[in-house]
Structure 1
Amino acid sequence: MSHWDLMGCKKRKRGERVFRFKSFGESGYPVDFNGSFLENVKALLELGQSESGSCVGVPCWSFELEINCQPPLHVLLYVIEEPIEASLSHHCKHCLYVGWGQHLICNKKYHFLLLSKDITPASLISKDDSIDANPMKVKCNLTEAHGHTMHGVFHSNGFGHLMCINGLESGSDLPGFQIMDFWDRLCTGLKARKVSLNDASYKRGMELRLLHGLAYGEPWFGRWGYRFGRGSFGVTLPMYKKAIEAIQGMPLTLLIHHLGSSGHDVLLIFSRYQSLSDRTLVSLGDLFHFMSELVNRVPRSNFVDSYYSPGFLLETACRWSPKRVEMATRVIVEALKSAEFRWVSRQEVRDAARAYIGDTGLLDFVLKSLGNHVVGKYLVRRSLNPVTKVLEYCLEDVSKASVESEGSVTSSSNLRTRSKVTRVQLMKDMFCVYKHIFKEREQGNGTCISDNVSLAARIILDSRYLIKEYTGDLPSKLELGLGGKFKLFCTVLLRDAVRCEWKTKPMPPDECVVLKENATVNELKVEVERTFRELYWGLKSFVAESVVNLNTSGSEMVFGLVEVGRRLVFEGSVREQGATGQDVYECGPDGGRVVDCACGAKEDDGERMIACAVCEVWQHTWCVQIPNGEEVPGIFLCKRCEQVIMVLPSLP
C-alpha cells in the first residue's frame, strides 16, 4: 500500500474516514458547498483530521484520499491555514504578476498540498531543531518547498493560484491529468472566484505551452478552461492568437525548403508520419496534432529505442531479453538488405539469419512480429505470395520519400497505417522536429526556418500566465430562504477619512450577507462590517457609513426596501489613525514599481528587471541588452536619462 505519511512517526487512527480521490470536490462530496468560498472552506475543514503535531502555531488538517482500492493506493491532502501575521511577506507576488495588484490583502491564505513521497513536515526540520520549537519554520519550509505533487493556494476572498503539479515524469503515482481533474473539482466545489497559474511545464525537454499550442491551438491547461491571462514583455491576447494561427498554419513545403540538406532527419520524419496518416499533412500544426494524437494511442513500451530496436516487439509476451531481440532484428534486416530490396521467402530469410542466430524460436518470434513495421529508416514489408501461398519479406527505404507539389509527403508506395512506430520513437521524432525548428536559432546555428516562426514561438512562450474564472463575482440578487432569512450581495467603497477622497482602486468583489427577514439597515451595516473585516487585512476597523443611491434611516427594515436584483454598495472608511495610508493592497501603497519598457510593458510581469538610477523607472534586462546569464550591473542608466545627461553643459 502506498501511503504518503505526512506525520513522520505519527500514525493515523483506525476508523478515520477515507475519502474517494476521484470524487473529492464534486457536488455534495464530501460536504454540501452551499455558501461563499470562505464558508465552504470552513465546512470542508470540519471533516479534516487536525494535524496539530505537524505545524504547531498554524492550523493544519489532512484528508486521506483513496486513489485505488485494488491495488490499494492512498494519498494525503494537506491543508495549511496561513494568517497574514505568519506570512514572510504580506504581498502576493503571484497576484501582482497576473494583474491582481489592485486587490486588497486578505487576512488568510489556504494552502492545499498533495505532498510527494519524499516530503514530510519532519523532513523539513534540521537535526538541531524540533517541530514544537520551530512550528513556523515547518510551515514556511512546507509551503515554499519544491516538488509537491500538487500545491495550490487560495486567498480568503476566493482568488487563488495553482503553484505546481508534478505527474508521472516527476516520480508521482498520479498522472498530470488526474491531478488537474482533482484541482479543478476542488476549485469548482469550493466556489473559487478566479485561479491563475504560471505555465512553465515541460514534456521531454520541450516547452509544453508551445508544443500543445502548436498541436491544439491552446495550452495543455486549456483542457480545464484556463485561458490567456497576461503576457510577459508586453504580449497581449490578440498577439497570442495571431502567433498561434501563424505557427499552426506554417506549410510543410515551406519548412522543407528552408531546412534544405541540414534537415535530412526532419524530412525522414515528415515522410514517416505522412505514411501513417489517413489524410494529407499540409501544415506544421497538422503534423504535431497527428503526432500528439498518435502518442495517446500507442501503447507504452519500456524497450530502449535504437536504430535496430523496434519497441513494438515487446508489446507481446516475450521470453527473450531486449538485447537478444535487438540482435535478431539487426541480423534479419541485414539479411534483407543483402537481397537488394527484392521479395524473399520467409524460409530464405530464416536460413540466412541462422548463420548468426542459433535460436530458431527467437528467429520465428522476431519474423512474426517484424512484419509491416519501421526499423530505423526501413519498412519491413511482409506479404503472402498469392501463387505459392508462402510468406515473403522485403525492405523499403522510407527515407527516400518524395515531396509532392501540393505539400503532402509520401513514399513511393502506400504505407499508410501498415507501418507503426513506438511511443519512444514518437517522442524522439517530435523532439527532433521541435529542436530543428525552434531551438537551432537560439543556439546560434542559423538553421531556423524564418524570423516569423521564431517570433511567433517567442510570443507563445511569453504567454505563461493563465487564468480560469470559476464563479467570478457573486450574482447581485435578493432571495428569500428557509427560516425567514434572505441573502444580499454587497461590496464596499472606501473613503480616506482624513482627506475625504474616494479611493480610485476597484471595489472588492461582492460578498453574500445573510439576514433575518425583519433585519434593519443598521443590522445590515453591522453584518457587512463583520464580513469584510473577516476577509481583508486593511479593513479590520472598517465602518460602513451609508448605502450608495439609497436614502434611508438605520431603523428601516431592509426587506421590502431593496428590490430584487439590486446590488448594494456601502460607503465607508477605516477608522484607525493612518490606516488608509497603510500598505493594504497587493501592489503596495504607491502601486508598486513604475514600469515603462520598450517592449510595451507597463506593469511588473515577473521577468527580470532593472531600475534606472536617475528616474527609477524599471525595464526588462533583456530589453536593455543585458543577457539572462549576465549579472545585473550595480548602476544602470536608461537611454532617456543618458541622453539628457549627455546634452547637459559640462562643469567648469
Structure 2
Amino acid sequence: MASNSFNEAFNMRIKKINPKKLLEFEDFAGPGLVSKTLFGSFRDNVLLFLQNFSEIEDYTVDDMPVWCTLLVTKHGGAFPLFIVEETVWNSENPHCSHCKLSGDLNWMGWGHHFVCKRKYHLIIPSYEDWDKPLHGNFSQFQSHSLYSLIHCNGYGHLISINGIQDGTNFISFREVMDFWNHLCTVLRARKISFYDVSRRGPIELRLIYGAAYGHSWYSNWDYKLRDRFSGGTDQELCTAMKFLSSFDLDKIVRDFKKKKNGKEIKELINKYREMSDKPLVTIGDLLKYMLKFKSRLAVPGFKPSEFDSKDGENTTSLESFMNSMTKGDCRWSAKRLEEVLRVIVDLLNEHKTNNFDGKDGMTRHELREGARKSIGDTGLIDFVLKCIRCFQVENQIIRRTINPYGRLVEFTIHDIVQEAESMKWPIPVMNFNCRWSRDKLEHAANAIVSVLKENKGNKTMPRQELRDKAKDLIHDTGLIDFVLKSLDNSTVGNQIVYRSKNPITKSIEFSLMSVSENLEMSANLNGLLGLNLSEEVLFLYKKVLLGYSDLNSIGLTARLILDSNLFVKELPIEKEVNGFMTLTCRVFPSFDELDTELTRRLSPGEVVVVSPSITIGELKVVAQRALRDTYCVMDNLVLTQVGALKRIEDELILSCAVHPGSEVWVRGSGLDLVTSLRYEDGLKNTINDIVSY
C-alpha cells in the first residue's frame, strides 16, 4: 500500500499545482473550464488538455513522455490520471493489437484504419501504485483502476476498468465508468470499443448480469454489440437478455424436476421466495434479490447491498488503515490509535471464542462499551470504530457489516488460515488405487499452480494446455492427469484452483484465485443463509443458465450472450460548436489506387472544426494539415480538390456549399503506398473486408 509519506507528498503537490489544473472527478463533464476550452477535434483537444490541465512528469517510459492530471473527489481525496503519448517513432509496435483483435473477428473492427501517428494511453493506476512511476510494461498490468488507449483520430479502446479503493474512500466501477464516459465526451473521442472477457472464477459476468437485469452492463453507457458474426446484432442481444431474465422460475422447476439437480434447484428457489417480501416470479427476480446480499461476485454495476458496509470491503493492510486514520485532522497520535485497535481485536477474539459458531459479530454498542473499560476516551473509540471498514491484522480480517435482521452495525473477525484450511484439497491419498505419495501429489499440485500463476493475466487455461506446460515441470503424465482430475474448487497453499467447462468449446478449463481474494468475494452472511451465497449464485449459473442443452431456447440464448464480446460506443459529433462548423474530411483515392492498392474499406476521415465563413480553398488547406498530422500514409499528401467526383470551386464560401456535420470528400496525390505503416492491423490488403460499423 502507499505510504503515509506519499500521501503527504501528494498533498504538497496539490497545494503547489495551479488550481485550474485540479479537476473534479464527479463533475468532470460539467459546463466548466474544461468543456469550454476543448471544442475542437480529439486530435487537437488532447494536446490542449495536456497543455492546460496536466503536468509533464520528470521521467519517460521507453522514451514516451508522461503527463499527470490530478482528480479530486467529493470525499476530499485526490488521485492521478496518467497520459502516455506513444508515437510511431518511439513505438516498438506502431500497429494496434486491439484494432487487430477487433479486425480478426470476421473483419469487423478497425484493422483497416490507416496507422495513426500518435496514440494516447490513459491510466488510473491501482492505489498501491500511485506513488510509483509507470513501468514500460504498464499495458500488461491487470490491476489498473482504468486503462484505455485512444488513437489521435479519436478511435479508441477501453481495455480494463476496476473500482478505486484508497484506504478510506471507495469509488465504484460505475463511478469510474461514468468518469471514463465524461472524459471521452469532453475530449470528443469518436468511437470506443471494449472486448468483454470479464469473469470471476468460472462465472462469465455478462451472462449473470444479463440474466439478472435483462441488459448488458455496458449498455448503461450506450455501448452496443458490434460482433455480429460471432454473436448477434445488438437488438438480438437485447432481446436475448430480456428473454433470459424473464424466464419463469416455475418453468425451470418443471424442466429440471426429473434431472439430477432438480431437487436442489427447487429448494433454492423456494428458500429465497420465502425470504423475499416481494414475489419472485422470474430468474431475473431471483438473481437480483440474491445479489442484494452482495455475493462478492464484484459484477460491474451491481448495486451495493443495503446490508453491507457503506464503502465496500476491499481488505486493506494494518499499515494502510493506520495511514488513513492519521492523515488529515486526526487529533490522536498513531500510538493511541493502535492501542484502541489492539483492544478491539482482543474483544472480538474473546467474543468469538465464547460464541458457539465463532462467527457472530459484536454490535457497535457492545464493542464501544467493552473498549471503555480499557480506553477512557470515548471520542477516540468512536473515531476508530467509525473508520473501520475491512482491514487485516496478521492472519485475521476485521470487518464492519450491518445485520440484516436487527439492522445494527456489527463488527466481525475471521481467521484467514482457518478458513483456508477448511477448504480441503480433495486428493484421495489414502485411496487404495492411488499409487503416488502425498509429497509427489503436493509437488505436482504446486507445479500446476505455478503454471496457472504465469497465465493469470489470461484468466482461464484449457486443460490440455495446462497439462502440456505442467509436463515441463512434472515428467509423469499419469500423475499430472490424476491431480488435474482431483482439482476442483481446491485449495493448494494460499491459492484456490477452479475447474469449469467452457460453454462454447465444451472443454475443461482451470483458473486460479488467492484465498484472500476468495474471502473478499464471500458474503457477510456466510452461514446465516445456509450455503455461501456466492456458491448459490454459482450453482444457478452452472446448473440452470448453463444447464439447458444447445437445442433448448434457454441454451441457445445463453450461448448467444456468451458469444457476444465486442461492444462499441459511438459518440455523436456536434454539427456546430461555439459558432464553428464540424466536418469530417475523407480522402477519395484515385480509381487506379482503389483497383490495385487500396482494396480494403476506406479508412475514416478526419474531423476538422472551422469557421463557416472560410472558403472551400481554405478548407482544403485545413483538411490537408489535419490529414497529414494524423496518418502515416498521408505525410506527403497534397490535396487538389474538395469533392469526390465533382469539384467544388475554391472561391465558394463554405457555409454556402456544405452543411454543418457533413462528410466532405477530398482528393489529391502523395499517398505513401509503400510504407509498412499502412493499416493498423499490419496487413496489406484483403478482399473480405467489406462490413463497416
TM-score bracket relative to the smaller structure: 0.5 to 0.7
> Residue 499 and residue 371 in structure 1: after superposition, are their counterparts in 2 closer, same or farther (change >3 A)?
closer
Max Rg structure? 1
- 1:620 counterpart residue number: none
Structure-2 residue corresponding to 1:514: 610
**Corresponding residue for 1:41?**
46
Q: Distance in 2 between matches of 1:13 and 1:34?
A: 27
Equivalents in 1 of 2:628, 2:530: separation in Å? 53
Of 583, 586, 590 in structure 1, the residue corresponding to residue 680 of structure 2 is 586
Distance 1:460 1:111, change over 3 A: same
Shift of 1:493: 2.8
Q: Tell me how far 1:272 sits from its aligned partner.
A: 2.5
> Is structure 2 residue 634 aligned with structure 1 residue 535?
no
Question: Paired residue for 2:17?
Answer: 16
**Count of aligned residue pairs for this structure pair:** 472
For the 8 Å contact 1:149–1:165, the answer to whether it is kept is yes
Does residue 206 of the first structure (1) align with residue 212 of the second (2)?
A: no
CA distance in 2, matches of 1:264, 1:372: 32
Distance 1:12 1:500, change over 3 A: same
Aligned partner of 1:299 in structure 2 is 307
- Distance in structure 2 (CA, Å) of the matches to 1:578 and 1:271: 67
* Structure 2 CA distance for aligned equivalents of residues 25 and 294 of structure 1: 33
Partner of 2:670: 575
| Runs of at least 5 residues in structure 1 that lack an aligned partner in the other structure | 125-137, 304-316, 334-368, 374-420, 596-601, 605-652
Which residue matches 2:65? 59
Distance 1:460 1:214 in 2: 10
1:44 is displaced (CA, Å) by: 1.3
Partner of 2:124: 114
2:114 counterpart (82, 88, 104) = 104
Contact 1:107/1:537 (<8 A) preserved:
yes
1:240 equivalenced with 2:237 (yes/no): yes
Per-residue deviation, residues 296-355 of structure 1 (Å, max 9, x unmatched): 34322699xxxxxxxxxxxxx999637846964669x9xxxxxxxxxxxxxxxxxxxxxx
Equivalent runs, 1:363-374 vs 2, <5 Å: none
Query: What is the distance in 2 between the residues matched to 1:186 and 1:199?
Result: 20
Alignment pair present for 1:192 and 2:189: yes
User: How many angstroms apart in 1 are the aligned matches of 2:226 and 2:171?
Assistant: 27
Specify the SS of the correspondent of 1:230: coil
1:456 paired with 2:565, answer no
Partners in 2 of 1:60 and 1:7 — Cα distance? 22
Measured in 2, the distance between the counterparts of 1:56 and 1:526 equals: 35
Would the aligned equivalents of 1:95 and 1:101 in 2 still touch at CA under 8 Å? yes
Shift of 1:256: 2.5
1:249 maps onto 2:246 in alignment: yes
Q: How many angstroms does 1:553 deviate by?
A: 4.4
Taking a change above 3 Å as real, the CA distance of residues 25 and 110 of structure 1, as seen in their structure-2 partners, is: farther
- Tell me by how many angstroms 1:246 deviates: 4.1
Q: Which of 410, 427, 439 is the aligned partner of 2:542?
A: 439
- Compared with structure 1, are the counterparts of its residues 175 and 69 closer, same or farther at alpha carbon in structure 2 (3 Å cutoff)? closer
Does the 8 Å CA contact 2:63/2:90 hold for their aligned counterparts? no
Instruction: After superposing the two structures, state which structure 1 stretch, 560-569 or 89-98, moved more.
Output: 560-569
Deviations 1:140-181 (A, max 9, x none): 422333321111111111111111112269999532122112
* Inter-partner Cα distance in structure 1 for 2:532 and 2:41: 49
Residue by residue, what CA displacement relative to the aligned partner does 1:594-649 show, whole Å, maximum 9, x if unpaired? 79xxxxxx999xxxxxxxxxxxxxxxxxxxxxxxxxxxxxxxxxxxxxxxxxxxxx
- What amino acid does structure 2 have at the position aligned with 1:299? F
Report the equivalent of 2:220: 223
1:190 and 1:563 map into 2 onto residues whose CA distance is 25
Question: For residues 574 and 118 of structure 1, do their structure 2 counterparts lie closer, same or farther at Cα, with a shift above 3 Å needed?
Answer: farther
Using the TM superposition, give the Cα deviation of residue 198 of structure 1 relative to its aligned residue in structure 2, in angstroms: 1.8
Q: Work out whether residues 114 and 679 of structure 2, in 8 Å CA contact, stay in contact via their aligned partners in 1.
A: yes
The 2-side partners of 1:222 and 1:35 are apart by 27
Deviation at 1:515, TM superposition (A): 4.6
**Equivalent residue in structure 1 for 2:87, among 83, 86, 106:** 83
For residue 270 of structure 2, what is the amino acid of its counterpart? S
Taking structure 1 as the reference length, the TM-score comes to 0.62
- Do 2:291 and 2:305's aligned partners in 1 also have CA atoms closer than 8 Å? no
Distance in 1 between the 2:4 and 2:262 partners?
49
Distance 2:353 2:271 in 1: 21
Question: Per-residue deviation at 1:236?
Answer: 4.0
Q: Give 1:194 deviation, angstroms.
A: 1.5
SS of equivalent residue, structure 1 residue 273: helix
State the shift of 1:529 in Å. Answer: 0.3
Given the superposition, is the C-alpha separation of residues 318 and 78 from structure 1 closer, same or farther in structure 2, using an over 3 Å criterion? closer
Distance change in 2, residues 1:6/1:225 (3 Å): farther
Structure with bigger helix share is 2
1:458-537 matches, within 5 Å, as 458-471=559-572, 473=573, 475=575, 481=579, 487=581, 489-496=583-590, 501=595, 505-506=601-602, 508-509=604-605, 511-515=607-611, 517=613, 519-537=614-632
Deviations 1:253-312 (A, max 9, x none): 233341656355443331232123333322212211232345434322699xxxxxxxxx
Cα distance in 1, alignment partners of residues 286 and 667 from structure 2: 59
Kindly provide the CA deviation profile for residues 350-375 of structure 1, in whole angstroms up to 9, marking residues without a partner as x. Answer: xxxxxxxxxxxxxxxxxxx89899xx
Asked if 1:145 corresponds to 2:155, the answer is no
Q: In structure 1, what is the Cα distance between the partners aligned to 2:590 and 2:117?
A: 21
Q: Distance in 1 between matches of 2:663 and 2:549?
A: 56
In structure 2, the residue matched to 1:93 is 97
Question: Partner amino acid for 2:50?
Answer: L
